[in-house]
Amino acid sequence: MGRHRKIVVLAGIILFFLLVATALYIFTPFLFIMGDRAHSRFFSENAYAAAAEPKEIYNVEYAEHIDLYDRVDRIPFDKLESFFQENLK
């Protein structure tokens, strides 16, 4: 494993623990969106399990991690809209 790869993995681990810590102590509605083929799916699943209510998890079928950044057609805008309408009252 190259040095650059180790730094990226370490940064991902640190960000995951920050997300879990945030999810545990902030009682704000959380929407976790992940691709069902994402290599990073377990980060969202673990953070979801640790998060306080209200929370929701949404799987985008046939999507990898990067699809939810680069492929606008894969981003679930309808889910985002309904979640915000329901939770930002």
Residue 54 Cα distances to 11, 12, 13, angstroms: 27, 25, 24
Average pLDDT over residues 33-46: 89
> Residue 1: is its pLDDT beyond 60?
no
**Segments making up each domain of the chain, as ranges:** 3-87
Confidence of residue 68 (pLDDT cuts 50, 70, 90): confident
CATH superfamily of 3-87: Alpha/Beta hydrolase fold, catalytic domain (3.40.50.1820)
Instruction: State mean pLDDT over 71-77.
Output: 91
